[in-house]
Amino acid sequence: MTLHRKPLPVQRAVSHVTATHPSSFSPDVLFLLSPAVEKMILPYLQGTGTAIGEKENSMEVRNFDEVNIGEIARFSKTITEADIWAFGAISGDFNPLHMDKNFAKTSMFGTRVAHGMLAASAILPTTTELTGLGGVHISQEIKFLAPVRPGDSVAVVSEVIEKLEGKNRLVIKSTITNQHGTIVIEAKAVTMIPKKK
């Protein structure tokens, strides 16, 4: 299977940012347009993919009764330049705080920072693992406690803290720390395990 390399929204986004903020352009954004993307995505299309990060995807169909309070799932990854540019293209958020190093120097952070929701998305592999194949994300509360910068490594620890009987729902608490051990995000999700037919 060959992917069609026509990432027009990304190309338009890159053109826009390089025209309006030329100092912020990074060669790493070419990753978005390279065969490396195909290498990452193709296994999923072929049904052989695993989670991108240090932990492989161990997702399986789960029975609500078999889930225990206190169960933990972990995931970690490094937030790259490519992640930030891709998230900007996907979300449409090209806030110069994320994209323009000169602008970011004047901000309260002093440097560029990753999108908060990009960092928070690292929670998803853990909630998916705990909820299981076919699980549904019902709600998500997020507290942003510290910035995540390009090149930071984030580690997620998520724990089942409550089971809502009758609705097949789990309450999952997540904590994200950076490579220095600083807590950058605290979150709580409600997920649902599909009832067996």
**Topology annotation, domain 54-79+115-197:** Thiol Ester Dehydrase; Chain A (3.10.129)
Question: Residue 75 burial by CB count (10 A; 0-12/13-18/19+): exposed, middle or buried?
Answer: buried
Percent of the chain with pLDDT over 90: 60
| Cα 144 to Cα 152: distance, rounded to the nearest angstrom | 15
Q: What is the pLDDT of residue 60?
A: 83
Q: What is the pLDDT of residue 33?
A: 45
Domain definitions of the chain by residue range: 7-49+80-113, 54-79+115-197
For residue 166, the 8-state DSSP code is T
Q: Which residues of 51-72 are buried (b: 16+ CB within 10 A; e: fewer)?
A: bebebeeebeebebeebeeebe
Q: Over the stretch 22-43, which tens digit does the pLDDT of each residue have?
A: 454 454 444 454 454 555 555 5
pLDDT along the chain (197 residues), means of 10: 42 52 48 50 54 52 94 94 89 93 94 97 95 94 98 97 95 98 98 86
Contacts of 172 (CB under 8 A, 6+ apart): 126, 127, 130, 131, 158, 159, 160, 161, 188, 189, 190, 191
